Structure 1
Amino acid sequence: MTSKGTMEPAPVISTTDEDVKPRKSTEVLVFDDSTHLNQVLMNLNKLRKNKQFCDVVLHVGSGQDMHEIYAHRAVVASVSPYLFELLAQKTKGTMQNQCKINGNYDISAFERLVDYAYTSKLEVPKSKIKAMYLAAAKLRIQPVVKYCGTHLVGNITPDNCTGIRAILAQAPDEDLVNQVDAYVRDNITEVLKSKELQSLPHVQVELVQHSSVEMDSTNNKHLYHMVLDWMRATFGQQGAVEAITEKVHMLYLNLDRTLHDCNDIETGDARDTEMIQDYKRLSRRLSQPNGNKNKGRSGQAPTPAKPRQFLYTRSDSSGSSSSDEEDRDWKVVATTSTGAHSTMGLALVNGKMVVLSVVQRLNTASSGSESPPELVHSGETYTTVPPMMSSRCSMGTAEFHGKLLVCGGYDRGECLRTVELYDQATNRWSLLKPMLSARGRVDATVLDGCIYTIGGSDGSKELSSAEVYDGNSWKALPPLAVARSNAGVCRLDGKVFVVGGWNGQRGLTCCDVYDPLTKVWFGVAPMLIGRYQAGGACLNREVYAVGGCDSWTCVASVEKYNPATNTWVEVAPLQNARRGCGLIEHNGKLYAVGGHDGVRSLCSVEVYDPQTNSWNPGPPLTSCRANVGVAVVGGRLYAVGGFNGKAFLNTVEFLDPRTNEWTTFVAKGSHPPLQSLERDSSREGSAEECR
């Protein structure tokens, strides 16, 4: 205040933005109550026991044994996916608190599982382990299922192993089931002596064979698989096990390499011995008045054929892809020999465990009758053709210097650069230098000792590039005018023909030709229809395009190109439409091998006779194969890789010229005749060359 009594202004204090804004804390206060979760569960459990705030009443059991269990929807639904789905349906449009639980539950086990939902603790008397496993399996409470299942497997014995396996099958845990199966295999002798097996169905089979050599050469493991195949084909997926156990089944190995009931042997056949006739009479007496209810094999789609040597090879491998997994409901679990020509074991038949006993019996032809041909010769032992190093389909295949060439292709979306060679003299695969580019949906041919791979796909686009292997390295060729995949490739008159293909939008009609002398591509007359995934091969100096797809439809039509007139003409169609078949000239005829009919992968084969202009059925493959590669090497027609409808294959089979049957087995130490190899080698890969 001044002397005159006036107020002096207050001094100005300088401020900054930091002074006017609230200060931010650099620390965060975190309170972690380790007792909270347990306390919440404990309090929820108290509320449940006092029936407070419960919004659902679970009704378990039936009739007078009905039990009411009060609970909170959110709690039990968070533990059991089964209850979650059930309660979610119950709450649609209403909040009904009554919920009936269907199924035969052990009440004590169910109540303990509800306790577990609230306490995360499970107390199970040993006498209740099995009941707890079954209840938890139905409610899909996986931690409890795993815990109880592991305990059961950990206490397995020969006397309880089949019962434990039946329990585990209620909620299949592949690891636990495989552990039980391994235990059964390791202890099969003791298991077969257990009292538990007396309650299992017993299937009895007798296999009649024509010589002691066949009997001694039989692989029991493979025999059991063939018996299982017979039961599955005869009694079907829905067949009752009781129907199979009604009598002893006497079977024989038919020429189609499948087992058949001896009732199928016609009267007067060399195999129709007194023993077979007695079996037929017994079967008629045991037949039901309304006749046999089983449909048998009639009306079924063609199935892959077993190799002739399958029953007699010493190898435990069937030669099939590792991806061809056994059906868990039809499976041989374990076998053991019980005599010189008798075997007993355990198998799953339509999901039910049975005791399966097989006895081999000698069926000697009647005096004066011609004995059936023996299926195996003394001293022969077999091994499988080894699989390729990579599973693949839609690859290029050809004969190359007396060996089977496989290049490119794709497996599960991955296009391949790798090139493999199979030497049938050593029964081994080796690697050739990889191609310059990865090529799936590609075809190849060999001309004058050089490998040509044309077009294909790299996984993202169709390719116009091509390359050649001259024995030392891969080199790029001039590109095609139109990029394409799934074209047919063959050679004729010293030139490489590329037929049709897919340009990313439609099937192509064009046919392009590469001349190695001028290193130039040129076009010839287009096909009558556009097609891709067609088989391409030459026969009698003409190029054939077989089957394939026009745009989206699988076709059966076939046309051939005459270079003298530069025209395509239609010839007899396939009996069955197919795409992705392997096409090859063999013994003056065309073989259309496997493929896909638009619904399924095929095991069937068709053979074209140019003399009659007709297609006829050929011997079926041992595996269904779509987008399969084929080649003739050393007189053998090979089918390589492909897709069986479930998996990409790395397996190989060949048409045995001695039996005209496909097989995956070769006799140990055997190799094709030397003159065949010399002929192929001297022709420098001209197995496909038109003459």
Structure 2
Amino acid sequence: MEWQYMGAPCWSCHLSGEVRPRYRPTFLYPGSTADSAINTHGMVDGVADGGWPATLARGLHDAWDTRLFTDLVITTRDEIIHAHKVILAAASPYFKGMLSAGLREGQTHTLVLEDVSGAILNTVLTYIYTGKATLTENNVQNVLTLADYFQIHSLKKLCCYYLKNHLVMETCLGVYEVATLHRCYDLAADALALACSLCSEVLLQPAFLTLQPETLLTLLKEPYLSVESEEELLKGIIRWTCKDPDKRKKWLPAFIEKIDLRFLNSQTIISWIASLEEKHLLSDDLRHILTPLDIDSYGTEDGSDDQEDSAKKIRHNSQEEVLLVMGGESNGRLLGNVECFALGYSSWRCSIPDAGVQHNDHNEHQFQVLPAMEKARAYCAVATHDNLVYILGGQTNSTFLASCECYRVLTNTWHQLCDLPAPVHGAAAAFLDGVLYFAGGKSHEKYENQLLVYDENNVSWVPRGPLSRGRGHFGMVALHGSLYAVGGICSYGGTSQVLSTCEKFDPGSDTWTPIAPLGQARAYLGVAVIHDKLYAIGGYDGSRWLSSVEKYDPLRDQWTSVSSMISARSSFGVTVSHGRIFCLGGFSGESNLNTVEKYNPRTNMWHCVQSMQLRRYGLVAATVNVPGSRRV
């Protein structure tokens, strides 16, 4: 039989007249994958035994345990360990370069690692031979250091996963330092965010006194810190300085410049000057910073100039998550406007809580109007980072777009980025370790397999390892140090095919590798990450609009079905807020939607929430933090 036209909700795919290929039942040989098939000679192509990697790993581990055919002796600080050169070279570019480049280690079959303990190296080698590592709070940072040194990226990601799930207030800034040192920027961001949200408690921890000065400076630069007053920060940095005053007092001027002295009255500052002088910490530079100006300049006794006050940096002691939806189409009209939903809103609005307003009455909400995008668009890619929302590519009613723009929450403004190399729609974007990635999409000629990285320094897009196949209208997210591309549409033999295939990108090797396929082929879907699991939600399978949802466990490489959405939908916005997945708008197969539903992964239930003002599909959604009340 022959399938009907896809009838995809994207006008460009629909107008191209693309059809699905004829259905051909495929015989799967026992143990084979979905790609296996009987060829014209009756032979089975592409047979794969899913259990063989585990069998091989057991054999290698047994050979290592019994020292069978070992040809490398590693001397550590407290132990001598035997290993196989070919296994280490296959697992680590570090070992491959050392053992194959004619160096002494390769010729003498010996390797000396004087600064490494035998226990830590054994943990790393166990992972190399078996893919398993026993991580604890006592060894994980040392294992991370060695994994980074040996360039074993998968073990490095496993250590980051452990640390992220064991972040605690007492050690979060120490984890931040380790993560920054080893370029684990997503872990560093999570650790710093926890420190900001629990800053009052963090300042009192013994570990705070051991921080590097650069870490403390980074903390003080944050616009949001959960402390009662700026004086609390001043007390903390002086405690840190007094731990080793001879070496640390030179940092005091830089630290105190990051404290907003306008919110300390003159008597308090005079008292601190006397205290610092008594402790022999008051340098001339520091005295100049702390010496009170005329009391009016602090704005504490009489009305200071509002314009001057607003021009200075404001620190906030609270923040709240808000949802944004942007772009899309509604009844044939292309949209560039933005809607927002925040705590205390009774409905969606085209305004956002004003971060710069001083709230005298905490029950009184102050808002500022959300500006529209500079270019109305649908089917664009979206990514968020540091309260910036990036909108990339997309389509209008008549053409595709290469333009990109960015929304800044703190200034409530849009600004242009450099254009993509070519106009595309139905692409996907995500941040991984602080870097913006852009992948796939459909151009005028084909479904693209490009992967691009945005280079902020040179204001350009840099190509990276391409997807294994071109795909559009798919989902892409970052999880455990990798990018995951899920579902979508590709071109096969001149026709379009909805995909169940998924793949994972390793930035260390710059390559994509296949992972377990979806149970249901789907395009125009929503993809989200929550609680270290990946969710593929709704979409369109070529003939039906879907409400089904699948959950992916990256540690088991396995998809499982969870509760379906209340309504089938495709081409909708998806974002995560307050531990829930929100699905917004889209197309049901019969009409455009303005309904919103949220999923609670702990109860495995969907709930309806406030509907948007406009029915829209081909939209994008984002969650950002709006700073709360100003430091007083």
Q: TM-score range by the shorter chain?
A: 0.3 to 0.5
Q: Which structure has the greater CA radius of gyration?
A: 1
TM-score (norm 1): 0.38
TM-score (norm 2): 0.42
